[in-house]
Amino acid sequence: MNSQELKQQLYKRAEVLGVKEVKMIRAESLKDSPALYDNLMKILPQAKSLISFLLPFPKGCLHLLKDPQRTMPFYVRLAGLGARRLDEISIDLSMRLEEQGFLATPVFICTPLEMPKSYDLWGYLSQIDVAARSGLGWIGKNGLLTSPKYGPRVGLGTVVTDAVLEEDGPLNEKCPDDCSVCVEKCPAEALDGTGKVNRINCTMKQAIAPLTVMMMKEFSLKEHRDMIINLGAVDEHTWYRCNACVVQCPVGL
């Protein structure tokens, strides 16, 4: 099976799994960002390609998400189930590649996490950067992947593999110059309009993980920290308190 045939097979499998858009990028195309490329190599040193895909959130959810009294329990469920579905798809695509004799690994949504300093949580690989570089959209003024069709109301999945796949290339699009609604509506003042996010301001306003807080009190030693953030901040263990930059964005509506 040649590279193009494998790519088409993966497209078809992704479609069966409900993926709406999928793109591919060569690992070497990330070399212009040393940090991103180094993080990739730490995941799979043999990596040659990445598969990036998205699932949109139902637009009908936005009506409820704009209701401050009822939003968060609903969004917690939406985000939790969405993350699990994305991870399941990533595992499925990884197994398909390994059935063809390649190595592959999913990049999970909520874990593993690292916290170099308080409230500053980092995943092992930026799926937003990979998605933008692969052509699924662009990084918006809110720092999120913005799809021209769905806006920022999407979940992202990524698979890393040693298979050599033809890449698609980035989009030549960006947010409208005259739109800064996400910046204006951000209650944490975490956005500067360039796509950069004050991560600590955002995290402290955006979400709280009650299990993490309780376990930090019980297990205060530094060596317990990675265990705690990866057990207490996964899927529906996180209570979201803000999604203004997602709800307010007009792209994709």
| Catalytic residue set | 129
Judging by beta carbons within 10 Å of its beta carbon (0-12, 13-18, 19+), is residue 242 exposed, middle or buried? buried
Judging by beta carbons within 10 Å of its beta carbon (0-12, 13-18, 19+), is residue 30 exposed, middle or buried? buried
CA-to-CA distance for 39 and 198, rounded, in angstroms?
A: 21
Residue 155: what are its φ and ψ, rounded to 5°?
Answer: -110, 145
Task: Supply the Cα-derived Rg of the chain in whole angstroms.
Answer: 18
Tokens of residue 12, six digits: 């078809």
Coil, strand or helix: which one is 138?
strand
Helix, strand, coil in percent for the chain, rounding step 5? 45, 20, 40
Amino acid at 143: G
Distances from the Cα of 216 to the Cα of 57, 77, 208, 222, 226, angstroms: 33, 24, 13, 10, 11
Q: What is the DSSP string of 216-246?
A: HHH--SGGGHHHHHHHHSSGGGSEE---HHH
